[in-house]
Amino acid sequence: MSSQRPSPRSGLTEAAALNGTARGRVQGVGFRDFARREAVTLELRGWIRNEIDGGVSFHIEGRRANLDLFLARLERGPALGRVDEVVAEPAGVEGLQDFRIRG
């Protein structure tokens, strides 16, 4: 009987996805544009949108390592913003082709 172990580097190249929210002063400060630029730089796909409660929500897909970098950059946010919290959870990969700003 043989057992297969995942490669220590698996997750760096496998597609993964996250749904998340960011809270703080994240509307009216260029946060969605900032997130789009970061996603494009990291070769990620998905979307981001403003929510009625003043936060933003997002869905992001790509290599796991790049998703982690994206979250770290969102926590920093744009110069005019203030990010109090970024929360994300695993989601299904939808096979999106680009990153878009919605609503």
Q: Where are the domains of the chain?
A: 15-92
Assign 87 a pLDDT band (cuts: 50, 70, 90): very high
What pLDDT, on a 0 to 100 scale, did the predictor assign at position 49? Answer: 99
Look at residue 5 and tell me whether its pLDDT is greater than 60.
no
pLDDT value at position 13?
A: 59
Pick the CATH number of 15-92 from 3.30.70.100, 3.40.190.10, 3.40.50.300, 3.40.640.10: 3.30.70.100
Q: Which residues are catalytic?
A: 32, 50
Confidence of residue 7 (pLDDT cuts 50, 70, 90): very low
Which pairs count as long-range contacts for 61-65, CB under 8 Å and 24+ apart, including other chains? 61/15, 61/16, 61/17, 61/93, 61/94, 61/95, 61/96, 62/15, 62/16, 63/12, 63/13, 63/14, 63/15, 63/16, 64/11, 64/12, 64/14, 64/16, 65/11, 65/12
